Amino acid sequence: MNSDPLYSDPDFAQFYDLENGWGDDFAYCANMAKHAESVLDLGCGTGELLAAIAPKRGVGVDPAGAMLDIARRRKGGEQVEWVQADARSLELGARFDLIMLTSHAFQVFLTDADQSAVLDTIRHHLAPNGRFVFDTRNPATKAWAQWTPERSKRSLMHPKLGEVNVWNDAQYDAASQVASYQTHYQPERSTHIYAANSRIRFTAQPVLAERLKAAGLMVSNWLGDWQGAPFKATAQEIIPIGKLAP
Ligand SMILES: C[S@@+](CC[C@H](N)C(=O)[O-])C[C@H]1O[C@@H](n2cnc3c(N)ncnc32)[C@H](O)[C@@H]1O
C-alpha cells in the first residue's frame, strides 16, 4: 500500500481539494464518460470527478482512507461505491465501460512491476468495448525543475486555518526516473509546518507504449494535453486513450 502522507494523513488530505479541482482533465474524462454506464476510477482520491460523473455504477478505488473519507462526504458521493484498496492487486470481479486514473495518479507507481500490475488491473476490469484513459507527465519537460521553494511558492485559503503558505522542493533520480518531492503547508497564523515527502515516477512515452502493449492494451489515441492536442515529444502530458487489444 502507498503510505504517502499527502493522501493517507488527514492533516494533508484536508488541503487536497483546495489545491486541486475541476479542470480540462476532468472535463475531458467526464465527456468520455457520457455514454459509460459503469466507470472505475483507480486512485480516485477525494472523488470529485467520479461523484460529478455519477454513472449508473461508479467505483472509486484508493488505498488512502483519509482521501476516501472526503469522497464519501462530498455531494454525489453517496451514489458511488468507494473501495479502500490497492489498484495493483484489485479484483472486483466486474468489468467497466470506462477506467480512468486522473491527476497523474499513474505516477505513484514507482517500478516497472508496479506499472505492469496496474495495467493488468485495467485489462482485467475493462468491458469488451470499454475504454481507459490516464495521464502521466512527460519527462522531457522536466516538471520537477519547477518544484523549487522559489518557483513553487503559492498560498491557499483554508476554511479553518486561514491563509496557508505552500511550497515544494524536489530531487530527480535519472536512474530510477523517480522524483522525490517535499510539500510544505504553513498556516500564516501558526509556526507549525506540515511537511510531507512523496515520490512519483516519470515514464517516457515509448517505454509506456511498450508496457501497455505487453499488458494487452491497445492505444487508439495519444494526447499531449487535455485540450486534445496529439502527443508530441515536447508535450506536457502523455495521455493514452485505448481499449483491450484484439
Ligand atoms: C494525485 S492523487 C489523484 C487523485 C484523483 N485521481 C484526482 O484526480 O484528484 C493520487 C492518488 O493515488 C492514490 N494512490 C496511491 N497509491 C495507490 C495505489 N497503490 N492504488 C490506487 N491508488 C493509489 C493516492 O492515495 C491518491 O489519492
Whether residues 63 and 9 fall in one domain: yes
Number of domain units in the chain: 2
* CA of 43 relative to ligand 1 center, distance in Å: 3
Is the beta carbon of 102 within 6 A of some atom in ligand 1?
yes
Listing DSSP states for 26-93 in one string gives HHHHHHHGGG-SEEEEET-TT-HHHHHH--SEEEEEES-HHHHHHHHHSTTGGGSEEEE--TTS---S
Q: H-helix or E-strand containing 212?
A: helix 205-214
Is the beta carbon of 242 within 6 A of some atom in ligand 1?
no
* AA identity, residue 20: N
Whether residues 128 and 47 fall in one domain: yes
What cell does 147 get?
A: 518544484
Whether residues 99 and 194 fall in one domain: no
Residue whose C-alpha is closest to residue 8's, from 82, 61, 68, 59: 68
Whether residues 154 and 128 fall in one domain: no
| Helix, strand or coil, per DSSP, at residue 16 | helix
Helix count (H) and strand count (E) of the chain?
8, 12
Which atom from ligand 1 is nearest to the alpha carbon of 8? 25
Is the beta carbon of 103 within 6 A of some atom in ligand 1?
yes
Phi, psi angles (nearest 5°) of residue 206: -65, -35
Listing DSSP states for 164-185 in one string gives EEEEEEEEEETTTTEEEEEEEE
Quote the radius of gyration of the chain (alpha carbons, Å).
18
Whether residues 79 and 59 fall in one domain: yes
Domain of residue 65, CATH code:
3.40.50.150
Full residue range of the structural domain in which residue 165 is found: 140-201
Mutate to test the pocket of ligand 1, among 24, 28, 44 (most ligand atoms within 8 A of CB): 44
Whether residues 123 and 36 fall in one domain: yes
* CA of 4 relative to ligand 1 center, distance in Å: 10
Whether residues 10 and 103 fall in one domain: yes
Using an 8 Å Cβ cutoff, are 43 and 101 in contact?
yes
Residue-level pLDDT, tens digit, the chain, 246 residues:
457 999 999 999 999 999 999 999 999 999 999 999 999 999 999 999 999 999 999 999 999 999 999 999 999 999 999 999 999 999 999 999 999 999 999 999 999 999 999 999 999 999 999 999 999 999 999 999 999 999 999 999 999 999 999 999 999 999 999 999 999 999 999 989 999 999 999 999 999 999 999 999 999 999 999 999 999 999 999 999 999 999
Whether residues 175 and 98 fall in one domain: no
Q: For position 1, what pLDDT does the model report? A: 45
Whether residues 43 and 93 fall in one domain: yes
Whether residues 73 and 12 fall in one domain: yes
Whether residues 19 and 93 fall in one domain: yes
* CA of 108 relative to ligand 1 center, distance in Å: 7
Whether residues 123 and 152 fall in one domain: no
